[in-house]
Amino acid sequence: MNYKLMSYTKLVFFVFILLILYPVSYASSNIKATKYKSFTCSNANDDEKKNIKYVFSDQDSLPLNLEGFDLRKIQLPKNLSKHNLKRANLSNLDLRNISLNLNLEGVNLSRSKLPKNLKNHNLQGASLRECDLQNILLPTNLIGTDLSRSRLPWNLWKYDLEYSNLSYCDLSRVILPTSLEGADLIKAKFPKDLSRCNLKGADLSECDLRYTLLPRDLEETNLSKARLPRDLSKCNMKYTKLISCCLTDVLLPKNLENSDLRNSNLYGANLCAAYLKQTNLERANLEGVNLEGANLEEANLKGAYLKNANLTNAKLPKNFKMDKDGYVV
């Protein structure tokens, strides 16, 4: 009898404790949800941004300030037009039926399926990497936008693509704008004629340009490891980067002032009377090169190979020394 009474007493006590604790836990959960819905990204620390796993329906209200948020794990509502999405992560998502804010500056949209009309949106600095953009209406201002590895519209004539990233893109059948100044074009495929395109400061490293007509002005352009056309003699190549290029069969201009030719192969090239002041020829292969009358003052020839090079009347750097094997020390 006493055993049953004790068991009954314990059960009543346990139920009593539950009745006391349930309202407290319910209230605390409500407080947590309310707190999340009211805080903004600008006040959130890194741990809070990384650990957000809440799921919202269309009826729930997201914070209006989602700047910098990683939204990939959130079931997004169909209308985000009033939310601040600057620098937010919306990659690998299906956004085709979602209304986005007009300001998408710095937003990561990589590999996402995008709405058909983005014409009025600000995409400066945004990442549209690996997106299919062939049937998307884009804004004309794409300065600084990452479009690398994307499928692009066939006509980009009226677009501003300066300082944008078009690396690994197939541009061979694309009508390009007149200026790609400062653009990243690493390993991109080009049409045959780029003669009217401004490539000043652009990065064309590792591109195959053998059959491409380049513009005359290649100042500050990066052509490192590129396969170049045979005749560049009429081009302006001041401050041009030609690192690790094979230039044995390439006709170069006479003025290569401040150009970077580190590790390049210039075997047998004709640089007679060339202006190479302050040019970087470190570890370059200059074997058999004709440098007669060339100006090499202040040029960096450290480690360059000059065996059988013609240095007649050449102006050499101070303290120029070459070992018995033909290497500059």
pLDDT tens digit string along 253-279? Answer: 999 999 999 999 999 999 999 999 899
> Percent of the chain having pLDDT more than 90?
77
User: What single DSSP character describes residue 80?
Assistant: E
Question: Is 112 within 8 Å of 91 (Cβ atoms)?
Answer: yes
Question: Is 185 within 8 Å of 201 (Cβ atoms)?
Answer: no
- What pLDDT is recorded for position 81? 94
Residue 56 pLDDT > 80: no
Q: Where are the domains of the chain?
A: 2-89, 230-329
- What pLDDT is recorded for position 319? 87
- What pLDDT is recorded for position 213? 96
In the chain, which ranges are continuous DSSP H helix?
A: 2-38, 46-50
* Mean pLDDT score of the chain: 86
Query: Where residue 31 falls among pLDDT bands split at 50, 70, 90?
Result: very low
The two tokens of residue 260 are: 């970077």
Question: Is 153 within 8 Å of 172 (Cβ atoms)?
Answer: no
Convert the pLDDT of each residue in 228-257 to its tens digit.
999 999 999 999 999 999 999 899 999 999
The two tokens of residue 212 are: 């491409």
- What pLDDT is recorded for position 75? 85
- What pLDDT is recorded for position 97? 95
pTM of the predicted protein model: 0.80
Output the CATH code of domain 230-329.
2.160.20.80
Q: Residue 250: which of 220, 283, 289 has the closest Cα?
A: 289
